[in-house]
Structure 1
Amino acid sequence: MSPTRENVVRIMPDIANDARPATAGQLAWVGMGEIEAPVRVATAGAESVAVPARIKAFVNLHRADVRGIHMSRLYLHLDRHLAAEPLSANSLRRLLRDFLDSHADLSDRAMVEIRFDHLLRRKALVSDNTGWKAYPVTLIATLDRTGFELELGVQVAYSSTCPCSAALARQLIQEQFRNDFAAGGPVDADAVLRWLGSEQGIVATPHSQRSHADVKVRLASNVSELPIVDLVDRIEGSLKTPVQTAVKREDEQAFARLNGQNLMFCEDAARRMQSALQTDERIADFWLRASHFESLHAHDAVAVAVKGVEGGYGPRG
């Protein structure tokens, strides 16, 4: 009996596995970028939440005579691991180990990068209101012969008020006061109080701007859970002026006070964060950048700090 079309086994070509490259050479990284998939992120309780993420997955190709890697294997490992458990150092290490095990004859180095927004419920400064705030998070994990490394990056938005502009504004207010209240004459306290509450009295205000703190930390080898919220809290606590969510007038007034009491150049902001991260034993190394999106200039004011000696964590984008 002759075989029918339905029971004939079709052998499909595998060019990546069978063919040889036209030009031989080892490749540092081969894989996929901008993969869309949900990841699970641990919350303050025992629960975890699923959030959309964009992912890059790579292995090296140290066989110069092989055409390509098995990209579908990377994708299937991602899909299985990320759906099974919340992100942690241990779960990412297991994922990368599967990358390498599935490419045992081709690769000895693996990397995954995961980007997502972490939503936190934040309380207003004074009122009883709360609101949601999104913090961009980046995880970069690598595994090779030297071991496993995990980098956690977060971005925090804050307000910065220029100390120089504040000093110049105070000078103008002093000059206006001298013009409106003759030197040597009697000064009525109620009149001064009314003057201070008028637009005529406050003739100048310092410039403030929304600013970004981009912080990347290399976690110590004994850290398993991802300290995302702790890192955000530490950064915001050092800067004092994180941008707000729900705001009533009393919250806006409290925010104005915080800005007035925390005047800072980008250098000040970078040093505050550097000091806050320096003693955290969970952090083996860090790189941070304070970017002030100037309202005075068309360009940004930027300061970068690292742990230890200059350039210890290398220049970053």
Structure 2
Amino acid sequence: MKKLIFLIIFLFNNTTHARLRVITSMEQIASVINEIGGDKVALELIERDKLKSSDKIYRSELISNLDSTNLLVINGFSGEESLLPALVGASKNSDIQEGKSRNLNLGTFIKSVKNESIVFKDGKTISTSTENNPFYLLDPQNVIDISDIIANKLSQLDFKNRSHYLARSQLFKDQLSARMVSWTRRLNKVPNKKIFTSNNSYNYFLYRFGFESIEISENSETSQNKLSETISLIIDSGNIQTMLVKSLPLNNHLLETVLKSKSIHIKTVDLTKNENATILSYFGVLESLVRAIEKQ
């Protein structure tokens, strides 16, 4: 009888403390789920570097974890690793397959920023479109729009904690709305509205606050003609003082040479450390970004 009572108590305690298992593919998504789910969610972030590599052990472990997860949250844009759909398809979990109830595609709820372009004196143009930019969650308004979608999905799967998810979602939205007021006031004081970037990760955020993002791809060719063209493009674009980069030192000859040019004056801002903190704090990475732009 004592053994039976112990077993009942053991099962009750483990059921009570069971957390929703959620797997997601991007740091920004993970940070928002963390804000809303709190201690009710066991969160796993897919390691994209391992997914890109030939790490068969990691892929096997991921498929196993997908088999038992309660929810898969994907970004839905072209930034999703091409191998992920195949691994999801290999999973025995029918509920997380594309279009199924436990496969939450956040990209379907986001409107892409319209395609625009900057025209220079010599007639050249550069696209400023954020079409298919997977970093749409760096726009705080987009996060406000999808936070209830995440909360409602978590509530469907874990109804007894529905009030927990909805309350945390509302608190998160209120805090983010207040931050947006502060960020708007601070960024309106920045005179130079052109930002030079090495990628388009931050375009959604920059456009939300009225900035123009001029991207020089890290994958650009490094010929002398391309170098001269890039320097001319930057000069023609105006007095661009800030360059947002993924990491320093830059592993790119073109950008390194551009930054050393005596014709232009650009300050680089390394955002890598901030990105590493996004899973713990959604606010932290954007506050750091605002400070970087303020210090132009």
TM-score, normalised by the number of residues in structure 2: 0.29
* Bigger fraction of residues in helix: 2
TM-score, normalised by the number of residues in structure 1: 0.28
Larger radius of gyration: 1
* Bigger fraction of residues in strand: 1
User: Which protein, 1 or 2, shows the higher relative CO under an 8 Å CA cutoff with sep ≥ 6?
Assistant: 2
